Amino acid sequence: MKGLSEREIRLKKTLDNLYELYNNEKYILNDPIEFPHRYSNSEDILLVGFISALFSFGRVALFKAVLSRLFERLGSSPSRYLRAKQKSDILEVSRGLNYRFYSEDDIFTLLYTMSKILRESSLEDFFENIYRPNNPIEALSTLKTIMNRFFLEESGNLSSGLKFMFPDIQSNSASKRLMMFSRWMIRKDRVDFGIIKSTSPKNLIIPLDTHTAHIGRLLDMTLRKGNDLKCAIEITDFLRRFDELDPIRYDFSIAHIGISDGCRHKFIAGVCKDCLLKDFCNNR
């Protein structure tokens, strides 16, 4: 904690307390990471985690309902199902499923692409190679290129939904969903899995959603107004001063102050009075 102000020392202690409070099953069940936690096989965890992360936008209840239907159709081992089944079977799995920007065809294309990858190699090897450069921006750029190549082979064009799945991180997109998948699979604790070993948690960038961005501003972690990659990096760099080897260990707890416990990003006496961060918040 060398070089930290008195306020920052107190804030770190509070964030550490919040980490212990939120990193448990209660909050997992109100988060898309609930889905990969249903499985024990690493291939299933990677596959289900990847798909779950790609659907994690909009209202939690809505995308979780679609994911529940999808994973029910894929059975007890989704990776084994996609590796073994034919194209026609995967078409049936996707039939009638859609969510926001993702059409039934988009969901089929994603599932069929994952089945191709599973037949060519293990998902663990696939993602280990993606993340090997130790640079999340480079890794996610490579992932976008590879996935889009598969998509084009199958569909001949990139629909708006397929484009949305893999945003252009080189154009300053925060790429929250893919940063979240990265956190899930690279970090290791009671919430995150730590399956991918080719890079370190110290290289991760916080998955920037509405909650983490607003709370980051309220705690003076960033001055940026836009929820972009530069904002995510600023918040990550602030948190790196608290934990150089695992700066985004605080992400899950910060996000769930909003997701689960109702932070409205403005002062509401009934909500704010019990918040552990109230002494540091600009809304006081």
Same domain, 99 and 146: yes
Report yes or no on 155 lying in a domain. yes
Which spans in the chain are helix H? 6-22, 25-28, 42-54, 60-74, 78-84, 87-94, 104-120, 123-131, 136-155, 160-165, 176-186, 210-218, 229-240, 251-259, 269-272
Q: What's the pLDDT tens digit per position in 224-278?
A: 999 999 999 999 999 999 999 999 999 999 998 887 766 766 777 776 787 888 8
* Predicted local distance difference test score (pLDDT) of residue 284: 62
Report yes or no on 179 lying in a domain. no
The confidence band for 279, taking pLDDT boundaries of 50, 70 and 90, is confident
SS3 (DSSP) at 153: helix
Same domain, 156 and 263: no
Residue 231 belongs to domain with CATH number: 1.10.1670.10
Query: Could you tell me which residues come within 8 angstroms of residue 266 by beta carbon, excluding any fewer than 6 positions away?
Result: 283
| Domain around 69 | 34-174
CA distance 112 to 101: 18
Same domain, 72 and 123: yes
Same domain, 18 and 38: no
Same domain, 65 and 169: yes
Q: What b/e readout covers 29-43, taking b as 16+ CB neighbours within 10 angstroms? A: eebbbbbbbebeebb
Asked whether the predicted pLDDT for residue 61 surpasses 70, the reply is yes
Same domain, 38 and 166: yes
CA distance 187 to 252: 12
